Structure 1
């Protein structure tokens, strides 16, 4: 049965054959709550990243505008607009476009993880060149920098081979969906470097002292629970 719902799940089919009723509704509820949670998380992170870029002058200043409670409202509204693209699935013809967008964002996410690993490798190189002992930090890993090399290798490999099937059955749309992120990523990076005339800092030039907040500045002070609800919440979370 091609219903396009959670009823196609093998777990649902198994439970139905076992005589368990109502499970498709439970699975649908679980899928919905999971999707809602993921969407909420991505909306939070994307809007705050856009807000942070605006504060650094790397995005239009309007995205740094906040409400009196500190909510970056313009950034939240702008990022929320992209959720409307989900309605492309309503039409079978536009569903293919939505699939392309999903593939593009997935590869874009892999680029993000690759950049995180590359950033750590530069951070590690700066610490090593300046003789700063990582073991004096609050957190350090004995497996670094090897884990970052491992991460760069696998993310790069996935980016390269994620559209390998297009070379056996070539289509322009398939090729662009799989690999358009590569020129976009490097175009944005080098374009920003040329436009802003910024430089790549050498390890011995990196500043690990100024502008770094203390733990007290980044962590809210601990407030002990007072009510029964707060005590239960603290135990659970």
Structure 2
């Protein structure tokens, strides 16, 4: 299995301490990607070693999160990891770009929580993600009736997006919680965005207030204040 790293986190699974496995490889090319080293990087790790690591950490964590890169590009290995984590009593969460709906549907029985990145209004996907939104739309349909907790999240990048883009997204998705994330310019794929200032928490709050009636729960996620519920 090709991975980038592992880490223990108290932020990646709501309310739980989690072991996070970052897989390598991604089929999107988002200019603001904050893990660009994982797109074509990473290293080959023996699957049995990964399973042993999950078992070792299971004494100290409550959940397993698999992020990336795009984990669903390695669906067979991912299924083995998730199934093993569940057998150890761990809750399981997947972070995905939603581009592999068939693999997602197959793995849902092994998942408690799915966070899907909604990169942009669907018609802008070729421009902002370098790929079609067809798979993402199908993934959202699958998740709607899955019984899994679903988080949708969008990274707001000034200059690439406007408030109207977030309103368009909000009008076309369904989820348990929607998160508006702050763009960060420290480590990104497109170096030209280095000069783009992150949106202020205040601006994100203002955008979130415009769409709060469309979701049962909405949050903003910023470097300054972490996660904030918008009421």
TM norm structure 1: 0.23
TM norm structure 2: 0.24
More RCO (CA 8 Å, sep 6+):
2
> Which structure has the bigger radius of gyration?
1
Q: By percentage of residues, which structure has more helix?
A: 1
Q: By percentage of residues, which structure has more strand?
A: 2
